[in-house]
Amino acid sequence: MSARTLLLSAVAALATAAAAPSFAAPAAASQTPAPDGRDWGRDWARHRAYVLFSPGSDSVSMSGSTDDVRRARALRAGGEALLYVRQGGSAYVIRDPELLRRANALFAPQEALGRRQAELGKRQAALGRQQAQLGAEQAAAAYRRIGDSPDEAAGVAWRQGEIARKQGELGRRQGALGRQQGELSRQQGELARAADRELQVMVDDAIRSGQAQRVD
């Protein structure tokens, strides 16, 4: 393999690595128990499931399995609002408008935060495309530099330096967005645990009061 081929292969590898968006891993959900000593998220996962439909929408807020979603859809009439709950070996549906309004309100902060995360994701993707373009330019500049005259080589070297500077700036911006995504993920975890706790209390009250209809 020629020295020219080796150099171009190395540059291409560097350009590919530079072009990859540097998404920060979401912050791990805290496993800290609730003040009463219970781990509410794990309690839902082990013993309970819920599927919440908003009126006129097929999108759901849920914690459970695909079987839970399938059964909840089968119990839903048209596009009605519905809360399906499985717990303690039994299944229930709640159709009371006020309870459903309260249930939807529990998840509104998570939905708003999800929209912010989606917007950040778009910005990260746009930066990634810019990084990819700069990586291609860097590879092309390295190809031209081989065999050029000293003056041409100096111009190409300057261009490569500018590209590297821009790559560094894009990398810093990607890192900042990644940290923001991590913080939003941490907030999502806190909101999810709080919503699960409040929903569990609401469902227990609805079962005791008869507002939850048993369906199994």
Write out pLDDT tens, residues 108-123.
998 899 999 999 999 9
Residue 12 has pLDDT above 60, yes or no: no
Cα 93 from Cα 75, distance rounded (Å): 8
* Paired tokens of 182: 């991590």
Cα torsion angle, 85, 87, 92, 95, sign: negative
Mean pLDDT of 132-146: 76
* Paired tokens of 58: 């097929």
Angle between helices 3-19 and 97-145 (to 10 degrees): 160
pLDDT (0 to 100) of residue 145 = 54
Cα 84 from Cα 62, distance rounded (Å): 9
3-state secondary structure of 181: helix
Cα 6 from Cα 4, distance rounded (Å): 5
Residue 30 has pLDDT above 60, yes or no: no
Cα 52 from Cα 61, distance rounded (Å): 5
Contacts of residue 182, defined as CB under 8 A and 6 or more positions apart, other chains included, come to 24, 25, 26, 27
Phi and psi at residue 53, in whole multiples of 5°?
-100, 135
Q: Residues 39, 47: contact at Cβ < 8 Å?
A: no
User: Quick one: pLDDT band at residue 43, thresholds 50, 70, 90?
Assistant: low
Angle between helices 40-47 and 150-209 (to 10 degrees): 70
pLDDT (0 to 100) of residue 15 = 43
From the list 10, 21, 19, the residue with the least C-alpha distance to 135 is 19
- For the chain, give the mean pLDDT: 79
3-state secondary structure of 78: coil
Residue 35 has pLDDT above 60, yes or no: no
Cα 107 from Cα 122, distance rounded (Å): 23
Looking at the whole model, is its pTM more than 0.95? Answer: no
Residue 6 has pLDDT above 70, yes or no: no
pLDDT (0 to 100) of residue 166 = 87
